[in-house]
C-alpha cells in the first residue's frame, strides 16, 4: 500500500513538471533571432549626397595629351579660342561671363557649365544633347559661334605638329583622328575630380565642417533641395524644369531666347520646354554668374531664387546664409596635373 502511494506521488510530480514545461516553452530559433535583431542599433540613414572618389583610374599619357589639346587654340578656326577659354580652371571650370564668347568676339546663347567632375553627369550640356564627355568635346569645335573650326582641318593641322603626331602615334593605332582627339580631351576631363572638405565630413570627419556649414547642410535637406541636388555631384543626375512651382521666365522680365527652351531644343516635345540638366553644386562658389542665363551674380541671390521658383519657399536670410556656407564646403582642390606646367 505504501509502495503504491509512492508510485502515485512520483507520477504526479512528473505530470506537474511536464505541465510546467508546456507553459514556458523555449523560444523558437526565429524568435531568438528576431530578439537579437531588435537589440541592434538602427543603421544610419543614407545621405542624399555621396562623397566623390579620392582618385579615379585614367590613362595618364592620354590625360597629358588631352590637357595640351584642352588648352590649345589650334582647335579653333582662327587660332584664338581653346576649351579653356570658356571652361577656366581658375574659375571652377566655368566662366566669369553671362554667356560664352567665341571666335571673332561672338556671344554665345548660354552660360558655360563647369567641366570639373563632369564625368559624373548623366548627360552633357544644359539640354543633355551629348551622351558623354567625348561627344561633348566634339560639339564646340565645329560650332560656328564657339570655336568655329572644321574638324578635317583641325586634324590636318594637328598632324603637322611633330609632338602631337608622335604622341598620337604612340597612344592610338590610327594616329590623329577626330575620335582620338576627343577621346584624349575626354580622358583629361575625366581626371578633373575635386574632393572637398564636405567629402571628409561624409566619410566621418565631423571636424571637417563648421557648425554653420553643418546647419546649412541640414537646412539644405529640410527645405527640399536634395530632391534634385543629390548624388556625388549634388546634381547632374536629372532634368528639371526651371520655374517648377512659379514662372521664372515671366518674372525675369526679358524676352525668351532659344536657349531658354532647354531640353525642348533636343526633343521637340512641348512638355520639355524650360527643362535643363540640374547643375552640379560642387565648386559652385567659384563659378558666378549663375543659372543657364547667367542672370544671378551671387550665391545668396541664387539660393533665394531657387527656393522661390523650385520649392515654393521664401527662405529666411538665416536659411540662405547657412545654405551658402554649406555650399562653400563643396569647393575642392584641383588634382596636381590639371594645369599646364609653367613655361609650356
Backbone CA torsion sign across 334, 337, 343, 344: negative
- The three-state secondary structure class of 88 is strand
Is 297 annotated in the active site?
no
Judge contact between 280 and 121, C-beta under 8 A: yes
**What pLDDT score was predicted for residue 60?**
98
**What pLDDT score was predicted for residue 333?**
95
**What pLDDT score was predicted for residue 45?**
64
Task: Classify strands 239-241 and 275-277 as parallel, antiparallel or unpaired.
Answer: antiparallel
Distances (CA, A) of 154 to 131, 135, 161, 310: 23, 16, 11, 43
Query: Whose grid coordinates read 583629361?
Result: 188
Q: At what angle do helices 151-159 and 178-190 cross, to 10 degrees?
A: 80
**What pLDDT score was predicted for residue 231?**
98
Q: Which of 37, 54, 57, 146 is catalytic?
A: 146
- Whole-prediction pTM: 0.86
Q: 60-190 adopts what CATH topology?
A: Cytochrome Bc1 Complex; Chain D, domain 2 (1.10.760)
Going from the first residue of the chain to its last (344 residues), give the mean pLDDT of each consecutive group of 10, the final group possibly shorter.
37 37 45 45 73 96 98 97 97 97 96 98 98 98 97 98 98 98 98 98 98 98 98 98 98 96 98 98 98 98 98 98 98 97 81
**What pLDDT score was predicted for residue 343?**
74
Distances (CA, A) of 198 to 103, 226, 279: 38, 15, 18
- Provide DSSP, 253-274: -S---SGGGBTHHHH--GGGTT
Same fold, 60-190 and 197-328: yes
Q: Minimal CA–CA distance to 243: which of 311, 148, 191?
A: 311
Helices and strands (H and E) in the chain: how many: 14, 2
**What pLDDT score was predicted for residue 43?**
47
Which superfamily is assigned to 197-328 in CATH? Answer: Cytochrome c-like domain (1.10.760.10)
Domain ranges of the chain: 60-190, 197-328
Amino acid at each position: 500500500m505504501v509502495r503504491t502511494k509512492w508510485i502515485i506521488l512520483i507520477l504526479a510530480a512528473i505530470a506537474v513538471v511536464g505541465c510546467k514545461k508546456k507553459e514556458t516553452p523555449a523560444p523558437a530559433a526565429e524568435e531568438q533571432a528576431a530578439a537579437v535583431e531588435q537589440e541592434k542599433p538602427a543603421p544610419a540613414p543614407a545621405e542624399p549626397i555621396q562623397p566623390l572618389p579620392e582618385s579615379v583610374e585614367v590613362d595618364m599619357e592620354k590625360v597629358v595629351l588631352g590637357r595640351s589639346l584642352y588648352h590649345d587654340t589650334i582647335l579653333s578656326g582662327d587660332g584664338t579660342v581653346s576649351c579653356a577659354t570658356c571652361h577656366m580652371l581658375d574659375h571652377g571650370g566655368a566662366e566669369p561671363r553671362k554667356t560664352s564668347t567665341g571666335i571673332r568676339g561672338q556671344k554665345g546663347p548660354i552660360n558655360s557649365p563647369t567641366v570639373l567632375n563632369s564625368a559624373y553627369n548623366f548627360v552633357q550640356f544644359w539640354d543633355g544633347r551629348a551622351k558623354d564627355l567625348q561627344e561633348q568635346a566634339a560639339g564646340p569645335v565645329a560650332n560656328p559661334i564657339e570655336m568655329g573650326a572644321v574638324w578635317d582641318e583641325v586634324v590636318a593641322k594637328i598632324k603637322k605638329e611633330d609632338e602631337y603626331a608622335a604622341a598620337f602615334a604612340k597612344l592610338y593605332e590610327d594616329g590623329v583622328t577626330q575620335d582620338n582627339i576627343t577621346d584624349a580631351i575626354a580622358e583629361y576631363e575625366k581626371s578633373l575630380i575635386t574632393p572637398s572638405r564636405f567629402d571628409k565630413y561624409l566619410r566621418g570627419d565631423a571636424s571637417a565642417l563648421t557648425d554653420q556649414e553643418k546647419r546649412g547642410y541640414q537646412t539644405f535637406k529640410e527645405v527640399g533641395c536634395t530632391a534634385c541636388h543629390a548624388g556625388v555631384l549634388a546634381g547632374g543626375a536629372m532634368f528639371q524644369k526651371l520655374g517648377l512651382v512659379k514662372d521664372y521666365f515671366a518674372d525675369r522680365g526679358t524676352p525668351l531666347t532659344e536657349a531658354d527652351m532647354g531640353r525642348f531644343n533636343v526633343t521637340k516635345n512641348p512638355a520639355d520646354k524650360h527643362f535643363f540638366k540640374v547643375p552640379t553644386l560642387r565648386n559652385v562658389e567659384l563659378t558666378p554668374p549663375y543659372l543657364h542665363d547667367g542672370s544671378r551674380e551671387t550665391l545668396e541671390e541664387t539660393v533665394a531664387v531657387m527656393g522661390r521658383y523650385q520649392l515654393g519657399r521664401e527662405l529666411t536670410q538665416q536659411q540662405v546664409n547657412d545654405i551658402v556656407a554649406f555650399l562653400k564646403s563643396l569647393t575642392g582642390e584641383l588634382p596636381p596635373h590639371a594645369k599646364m606646367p609653367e613655361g609650356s
